């Protein structure tokens, strides 16, 4: 695990169901709204993304950011995370319950957002649990992780995908569990956003394929797929973060006015 980030007002790291979570408690929290942040494969703390962090603070959004290692946020057991509970079950169960306990916020007032590995995790969770996460946003989502498995021996960062091989043992089996394959034509999150730069050579094609599928099914979405510069990098995260937080705030507001 990466070392703890420097302490900032309102931020802490605490235990949730036996696993660490980074938490932001605003002094004057936005009522009825909260955010769950899913980290990327390099396991950066949310506080290490200064633009996104500052936007969250300015929006007064309470946040819980669970730490699950290179679990890929799957509903599969990842030995590096927990021998009995999947990362998805951890988020849907204890983390959502902690949001309710600590902030008094329950679905549909909870948005899920992630970067890279966490970006595909946010989309995948929302596709599988749209009633819990009607608002989802992804920055540079690593949707086609099966392709990364296939290419791992050619990549300088190939070790980042060892967990996927441990979980699936087969590229095709992994492909069948990717976010795109969990899009349901009749049951989907009401608000979804994803952004990926064309210079992101490993992950852009997956975002385009997702866009094509959603369009074909008539499922509403917001996507930024035009060049912004930066490829797969914190520079790109910084460029699109204002639009991500704007989307989340607008859509949580819409959900608060929705009649069930």
> In which residue ranges of the chain is pLDDT below 50?
none
DSSP 69: S
**pTM of the predicted model, to two decimals?**
0.96
Residue 100: its pLDDT value, please?
98
Radius of gyration of the chain (CA): 17
Parallel, antiparallel, or unpaired: how do β-strands 135-139 and 11-16 relate? unpaired
Residue 253: its pLDDT value, please?
97
For the packed helices 234-257 and 50-59, what is the interaxial angle rounded to 10 degrees?
20
Nearest alpha carbon to residue 44 among 111, 121, 116:
116
Please tell me the total number of residues recorded for the chain in this structure: 260
Residue 1: its pLDDT value, please?
61
Distance set, CA 161 to CA 101, 105, 150, 200 (Å): 35, 34, 10, 17
CB atoms within 10 A of CB 50: 12
Residue 79: its pLDDT value, please?
84
Q: What is the CATH number of domain 11-257?
A: 3.40.50.1820
Residue 3: its pLDDT value, please?
79
DSSP 139: E
Residue 211: its pLDDT value, please?
98
DSSP 154: G
| Burial degree of 168 (CB within 10 A; 0-12, 13-18, 19+) | buried
Residue 260: its pLDDT value, please?
62
Q: Which residues, 6 or more positions from 146, have their beta carbon under 8 angstroms from its beta carbon? A: 164, 171, 172, 174, 175, 178
d(C-alpha 106, C-alpha 176), whole Å: 31
d(C-alpha 127, C-alpha 187), whole Å: 8
């Amino acid at each position: 695990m990466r070392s703890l980030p420097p302490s900032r007002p309102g931020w802490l790291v605490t235990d949730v169901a036996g696993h660490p979570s980074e938490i932001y408690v605003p002094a004057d929290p936005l009522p009825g709204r909260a955010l769950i942040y899913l980290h990327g494969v390099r396991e950066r703390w949310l506080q290490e993304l200064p633009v996104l962090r500052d936007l969250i603070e300015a929006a007064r959004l309470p946040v819980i950011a669970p730490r699950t290692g290179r679990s890929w946020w799957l509903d599969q057991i990842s030995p590096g995370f927990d021998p009995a509970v999947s990362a998805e079950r951890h988020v849907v169960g204890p983390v959502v319950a902690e949001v309710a306990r600590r902030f008094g916020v329950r679905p549909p007032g909870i948005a899920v957002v992630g970067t890279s590995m966490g970006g595909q995790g946010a989309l995948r969770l929302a596709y599988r649990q749209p009633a819990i996460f009607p608002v989802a946003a992804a920055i540079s989502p690593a949707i086609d992780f099966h392709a990364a498995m296939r290419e791992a021996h050619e990549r300088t960062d190939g070790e980042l995908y060892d967990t996927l091989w441990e979980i699936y043992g087969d590229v095709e089996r992994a492909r069948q569990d990717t976010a795109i394959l969990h899009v349901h034509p009749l049951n989907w999150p009401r608000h979804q956003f994803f952004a990926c730069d064309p210079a992101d050579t490993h992950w852009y094609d997956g975002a385009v394929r997702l866009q094509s599928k959603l369009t074909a099914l008539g499922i509403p979405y917001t996507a930024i797929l035009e060049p912004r510069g930066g490829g797969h990098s914190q520079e790109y995260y910084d460029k699109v973060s204002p639009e991500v937080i704007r989307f989340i705030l607008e859509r949580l507001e819409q959900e608060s006015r929705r009649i069930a």
